[in-house]
């Protein structure tokens, strides 16, 4: 609050005015004071009405809804990875001159794969292949690569399956999106241990693990090359030697990443040598060469118990059962079902009685069989500690 000093004269530093002039000055002062009081009232009369809190909230909700809507135009084209003819050092200099986009990086929503076991195995192995062949046996780089793949699956510009994204354009020598799918890199085999690590990372990301470092990136390249599309995108992040990008504008915002994912993963022949899920007939064919089906059925028939829970079958087989006889048991028990999942033990005391497959029961299994006629899938896997002569792709994970 301002306080006025009433002991001070009303004039400071000037002579006193004559009486007539004092009356005029007094009148002018009154008019000015009146104007000061009345003007705000007049302005208030003509001011627009204030928004009510309900109206303001409605407008805020409408604006938020618009920000979540996907862009109205068609998604941008997906360009192949064509590189500018530039030396490595020059490429690094060019990439260094491009600034990172300002502001915080928005993380992707967790990805939760919703398919069945067969589809999950195919998706996992496609994602693991992208991780290991693009980033090597390095979990940090693999996580970033995997996030880009899953971002693409959710974006309308790309295929709607994990395998479809990874192997997009792989049938064309210059059209592939991930170079390992068309440059012969798959002929170079990583160790089984390296594959297991990549599969484990892929399983985590398909189950909801998010790499927040790369946000909504849909593109990346190493820092020693310059693709033609590089300077048309927003540069988001760097992970080791890889640079990550998103589309500019609406197609790089969270609203764009809302496409429905298709869990019906295709079989990719290029992964047949590494993935039983993509070579469903190999293990069964190997078993057929061991023993004829009739012999196997005869050997397995005695002392076999079976418990059926809908389309899931638990069986106890004799300890003397062979891989081929176990396969024969599976075919017999599943009969003509289009979908059948069978788990077997060679110790009948370990067979679950309530239809629940506990961790202990899973660990003690001798074999499993899965059939899905709709997707053309059939697979038998075995405990290779008990059956060491079987090929690697017929073994259950330990």
Q: For 204-262, write each residue's pLDDT tens digit.
A: 999 999 999 999 999 999 999 999 999 899 999 999 999 999 999 999 999 999 999 99
Of 276, 310, 339, the last residue of a domain is: 276
pLDDT in tens, 74-118: 888 888 778 999 999 999 999 999 999 999 999 999 999 998 888
27 has pLDDT over 80: no
> pLDDT-based confidence at 198, cuts 50/70/90?
very high
Q: Residue 77: inside a domain, yes or no?
A: no
Looking at the structure, tell me whether residues 227 and 107 fall in a common domain. Answer: yes
DSSP state of 67: H
19 has pLDDT over 90: no
Say which range, 281-290, 318-327, 332-341, 356-365, has the weakest mean pLDDT. 281-290
Looking at the structure, tell me whether residues 300 and 318 fall in a common domain. Answer: yes
Query: Long-range contacts: 288-296, Cβ < 8 Å, 24+?
Result: 288/324, 290/322, 290/323, 290/324, 291/322, 291/324, 291/325, 293/324, 293/328, 293/331, 295/324, 296/322, 296/324, 296/325, 296/327, 296/328
Of 276, 300, 334, the last residue of a domain is: 276
Looking at the structure, tell me whether residues 122 and 249 fall in a common domain. Answer: yes
Looking at the structure, tell me whether residues 107 and 237 fall in a common domain. Answer: yes
Q: If we measure between CA atoms, which residue out of 132, 263, 293 comes closest to residue 198?
A: 132
> pLDDT-based confidence at 398, cuts 50/70/90?
low
Looking at the structure, tell me whether residues 310 and 353 fall in a common domain. Answer: yes
Looking at the structure, tell me whether residues 289 and 268 fall in a common domain. Answer: no
Q: Residue 389: inside a domain, yes or no?
A: yes
Whether the model clears a pTM of 0.75, i.e. scores above it, the answer is no
Q: Are strands 312-316 and 339-345 parallel, antiparallel or unpaired?
A: parallel
Looking at the structure, tell me whether residues 209 and 297 fall in a common domain. Answer: no
DSSP state of 215: T
- Measured N-to-C along each axis, helices 323-334 and 293-300 cross at an angle, to the nearest 10 degrees, of 90
Looking at the structure, tell me whether residues 300 and 205 fall in a common domain. Answer: no
pLDDT of residue 213: 98
47 has pLDDT over 80: no
pLDDT of residue 174: 64
pLDDT in tens, 159-181: 999 999 999 998 876 678 999 99
Torsion angle in degrees (nearest 10) through CA of 256, 260, 263, 269: -50
2 has pLDDT over 80: no
- Which parts of the chain are beta strand (E)? 219-222, 234-239, 242-246, 305-309, 312-316, 339-345, 367-372, 377-382
Q: If we measure between CA atoms, which residue out of 228, 213, 192 comes closest to residue 145?
A: 213
CA–CA distance, 227 with 206 (Å, rounded to integer): 29
Q: If we measure between CA atoms, which residue out of 278, 276, 301 comes closest to residue 287?
A: 276
- Max mean pLDDT among 53-67, 153-167, 324-338 falls in 153-167
> pLDDT-based confidence at 312, cuts 50/70/90?
confident
What is the average pLDDT across 114-137?
94
* Count of domains observed in the chain: 2
H-only helix segments in 115-191: 117-135, 139-154, 162-166
Looking at the structure, tell me whether residues 335 and 188 fall in a common domain. Answer: no
What is the average pLDDT across 133-143?
96
Looking at the structure, tell me whether residues 292 and 201 fall in a common domain. Answer: no
Exposure b/e, 120-135, CB count within 10 A at least 16 = b: bbbbbbbbbbbbbbbb
CA–CA distance, 355 with 314 (Å, rounded to integer): 8
DSSP state of 339: E
Looking at the structure, tell me whether residues 379 and 260 fall in a common domain. Answer: no
Of 248, 276, 304, the last residue of a domain is: 276
CA–CA distance, 69 with 64 (Å, rounded to integer): 9
Q: Residue 65: inside a domain, yes or no?
A: no
Q: Residue 20: inside a domain, yes or no?
A: no
Q: What is the mean pLDDT of the chain?
A: 80
156 burial (CB, 10 Å; 0-12 / 13-18 / 19+) is middle
What is the average pLDDT across 389-394?
78
> What CATH code is carried by the domain that includes residue 208?
1.10.10.2520
Q: Residue 172: inside a domain, yes or no?
A: yes
Residue 215: give the domain boundaries. 88-276
141 has pLDDT over 90: yes
pLDDT of residue 271: 94
> pLDDT-based confidence at 356, cuts 50/70/90?
confident
Estimate to the nearest angstrom the gap between the alpha carbon of 362 and the chain centroid. Answer: 28
pLDDT of residue 280: 66
Q: Residue 134: inside a domain, yes or no?
A: yes
Looking at the structure, tell me whether residues 162 and 271 fall in a common domain. Answer: yes
What is the average pLDDT across 58-66?
43
Estimate to the nearest angstrom the gap between the alpha carbon of 232 and the chain centroid. Answer: 23
What is the average pLDDT across 46-53?
40
Contact of 299 with 325, CB cutoff 8 Å: yes
Q: Residue 58: inside a domain, yes or no?
A: no
% residues pLDDT > 90 (the chain): 46
Say which range, 9-23, 137-151, 196-210, has the weakest mean pLDDT. 9-23
pLDDT of residue 25: 46
Nearest-Å Rg of the Cα atoms of the chain is 35
pLDDT of residue 4: 31
DSSP string, 361-384: HHHT--EEEEEEGGGTEEEEEE-T
Q: Residue 43: inside a domain, yes or no?
A: no
pLDDT of residue 292: 46
């Amino acid at each position: 609050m301002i306080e006025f000093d009433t002991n001070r004269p009303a004039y400071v530093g000037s002579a006193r005015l004559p009486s007539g002039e004092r009356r005029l000055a007094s009148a002018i002062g009154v008019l000015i004071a009146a104007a000061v009081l009345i003007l705000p009232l007049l302005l208030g009369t003509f001011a627009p009405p204030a928004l009510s809190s309900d109206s303001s909230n409605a407008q805020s909700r409408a604006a938020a809804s618009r920000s979540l809507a996907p862009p109205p135009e068609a998604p941008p084209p997906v360009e192949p990875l064509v590189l500018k003819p530039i030396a490595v050092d020059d490429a690094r200099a060019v990439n260094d001159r491009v600034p990172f986009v300002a502001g915080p990086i928005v993380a992707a929503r967790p990805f939760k794969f919703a398919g069945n076991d067969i589809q999950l195995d195919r998706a996992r192995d496609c994602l693991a292949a992208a991780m290991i062949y693009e980033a090597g046996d390095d979990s940090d780089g693999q996580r970033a690569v995997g996030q880009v793949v899953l971002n693409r699956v959710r974006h309308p510009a790309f295929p709607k399956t994990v395998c479809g994204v990874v192997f997009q354009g792989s049938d064309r020598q210059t059209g592939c999106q991930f170079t390992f799918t068309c440059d012969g890199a798959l002929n170079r085999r990583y160790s089984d241990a390296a594959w297991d690590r990549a599969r484990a990372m892929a399983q985590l990301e398909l189950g909801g693990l998010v790499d927040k470092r790369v946000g909504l990136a849909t593109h990346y390249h190493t820092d020693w090359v310059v693709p033609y599309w590089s300077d048309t995108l927003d540069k988001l992040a760097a992970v080791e030697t890889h640079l990550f990008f998103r589309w500019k504008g609406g197609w790089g915002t969270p609203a764009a990443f809302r496409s429905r994912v298709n869990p019906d993963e295709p079989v990719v022949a290029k992964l047949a040598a590494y993935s039983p899920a993509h070579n469903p007939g190999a293990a069964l064919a190997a078993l057929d060469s061991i023993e004829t089906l009739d012999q196997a059925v005869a050997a397995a028939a005695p002392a076999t118990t079976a418990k059926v829970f809908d389309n899931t079958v638990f069986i106890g087989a004799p300890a003397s059962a062979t891989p081929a006889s176990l396969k024969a048991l599976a075919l017999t028990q599943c009969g003509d079902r289009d979908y059948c999942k069978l788990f077997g033990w060679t110790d009948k005391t370990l067979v679950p009685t309530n239809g629940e497959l506990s961790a202990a029961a899973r660990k003690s299994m001798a074999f499993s069989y899965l059939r899905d006629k709709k997707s053309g899938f059939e697979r038998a896997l075995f405990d290779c500690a008990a059956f060491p002569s079987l090929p690697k792709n017929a073994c259950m994970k330990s």
